[in-house]
């Protein structure tokens, strides 16, 4: 099988496994992203995410993360729900966390994709990544043409929006490279204007200290008192900058049962505060909500809804 045929097979199998996009870029040093990352870290915009300072060389060069790497395969996996659960004053959870933990749901598909590639193409060596290692996934997705980076720093796809997970296969096989796509944000600033805490301080630049997603998931300790009004009613993540994006009017519901919301979908703040650790583990043991844990969620509810 030639590299051209192998690339066609890769994309066909990715589609079969449920990915909405699959594109390829050459594994190389991210020279354009390096100064941006330097400036972002120097200004402390990563907030409490100290891990962003780690593995700097691997973050910018996938060949140091996967020796012998030749290509970075970027994939997108839809998570837009059929029903938006953030339409009332109940505690709100970002759409990506409605169902089971995306790390496992998407990575299982990646492992399956790598397995069929090895079966049909040969002994391909590489690794699968789903937001779990120092991989600059948006940079690679943009470079390969999965989409473009919007002003809210998230990846966008024309006529599809931004409600999708990104994943990568970094492998030693020379798949055929794809080309980037044009930026279609134009002069629109809806995401910047809508952010209640002013976290989008410039196009594609996020100050994590001000970001509701950072505050409700990554931040340890008390929530900033000055942002209490803005946080309400978000208790895990935030979708505001995506919800106002015109391109997300075109988003279509996903077909993945594992991403469907479970029993919590109609819970009130009182229901969440009465939850025990045992019940939380039973209901959310396979959910992204385990990152802040029950204590973190309840802290967020107290901050957003008051004691």
State the pLDDT at residue 171: 97
Q: Is residue 87 a part of any domain in this protein?
A: no
State the pLDDT at residue 244: 97
Claim to verify: residue 138 and residue 38 sit in the same structural domain: yes
216's tokens: 């409700």
Q: What is the DSSP string of 56-72?
A: HHHHH-HHHHSTT--EE
Claim to verify: residue 203 and residue 167 sit in the same structural domain: no
Q: Is residue 86 a part of any domain in this protein?
A: no
Q: Is residue 90 a part of any domain in this protein?
A: no
**Which is it for the CA torsion 88, 90, 92, 93, positive or negative?**
negative
Q: Is residue 31 a part of any domain in this protein?
A: yes
Claim to verify: residue 270 and residue 158 sit in the same structural domain: no
Residue with tokens 């505001």: 240
Q: Is residue 111 a part of any domain in this protein?
A: yes
State the pLDDT at residue 1: 82
Q: Which of 28, 61, 131, 183 is catalytic?
A: 131
Claim to verify: residue 42 and residue 165 sit in the same structural domain: yes
Claim to verify: residue 196 and residue 67 sit in the same structural domain: no
> What is the three-class DSSP state of 77?
strand
State the pLDDT at residue 229: 87
Claim to verify: residue 39 and residue 145 sit in the same structural domain: yes
What is the Cα–Cα distance from 97 to 79, expressed in whole angstroms?
A: 9
Task: Give the count of domains, the chain.
Answer: 2
Claim to verify: residue 149 and residue 236 sit in the same structural domain: no
Residue with tokens 């919301």: 261
Claim to verify: residue 161 and residue 220 sit in the same structural domain: no
Taking 50 as the pLDDT cut, the residues of the chain under it are: none
Q: Is residue 85 a part of any domain in this protein?
A: no
Structural domain of 268: 190-251+260-305
Q: Is residue 178 a part of any domain in this protein?
A: no
Claim to verify: residue 71 and residue 206 sit in the same structural domain: no
Claim to verify: residue 267 and residue 204 sit in the same structural domain: yes
Q: What is the pTM of this model?
A: 0.94
Alpha-helix residue ranges (DSSP H) falling in the chain: 3-16, 34-42, 56-60, 62-65, 102-121, 137-144, 190-194, 212-213, 228-231, 240-243, 269-273, 277-284, 293-305
Q: Is residue 43 a part of any domain in this protein?
A: yes
State the pLDDT at residue 263: 73
State the pLDDT at residue 202: 96
Q: Is 89 a catalytic residue?
A: no
State the pLDDT at residue 222: 87
Claim to verify: residue 26 and residue 152 sit in the same structural domain: yes
Claim to verify: residue 223 and residue 286 sit in the same structural domain: yes
State the pLDDT at residue 307: 60
Question: Where among 144, 171, 198 does a domain terminate?
Answer: 171
Residue 198: name the closest of 207, 186, 188, 185 by CA. Answer: 207
236's tokens: 């895990």
Spell out the residues 6+ positions from residue 107 whose beta carbon is closer than 8 angstroms to its own: 128, 130, 132, 167
């Amino acid at each position: 099988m030639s590299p051209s045929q192998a690339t066609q097979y890769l994309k066909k199998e990715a589609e079969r496994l449920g990915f909405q996009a699959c594109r390829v870029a050459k594994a190389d040093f991210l020279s354009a992203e390096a100064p941006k990352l330097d400036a972002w870290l120097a200004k402390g915009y990563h907030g409490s995410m100290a891990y962003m300072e780690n593995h700097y060389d691997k973050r910018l060069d996938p060949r140091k993360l996967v020796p012998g790497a030749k290509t970075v395969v970027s994939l997108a996996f839809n998570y837009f729900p059929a029903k938006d659960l953030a339409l009332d004053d109940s505690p709100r959870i970002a759409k990506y966390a409605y169902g089971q933990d995306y790390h496992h749901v998407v990575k299982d598909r990646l492992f399956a994709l790598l397995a069929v590639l090895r079966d049909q193409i040969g002994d391909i060596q590489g690794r699968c990544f789903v937001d779990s290692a120092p991989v600059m996934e948006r940079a690679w997705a943009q470079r390969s043409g999965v989409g473009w980076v919007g002003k809210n720093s998230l990846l966008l796809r024309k006529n599809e929006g931004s409600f999708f997970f990104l994943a990568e296969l970094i492998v030693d096989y020379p798949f055929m490279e794809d080309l980037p796509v044009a930026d279609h944000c134009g002069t629109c600033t809806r995401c910047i204007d809508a952010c209640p805490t002013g976290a989008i301080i410039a196009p594609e630049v996020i100050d994590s200290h001000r970001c509701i997603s950072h505050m409700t998931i990554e931040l340890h300790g008390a929530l900033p008192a000055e942002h209490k009004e803005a946080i309400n009613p978000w208790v895990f993540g935030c979708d505001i900058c995506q919800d106002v994006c015109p391109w997300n009017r075109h988003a279509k519901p996903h077909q993945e049962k594992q991403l469907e919301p479970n029993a919590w979908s109609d819970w009130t703040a009182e229901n969440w505060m009465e939850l025990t650790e045992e019940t939380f583990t039973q209901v959310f043991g396979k959910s992204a909500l385990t990152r802040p844990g029950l204590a973190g969620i309840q802290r967020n509810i107290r901050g957003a809804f008051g004691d």
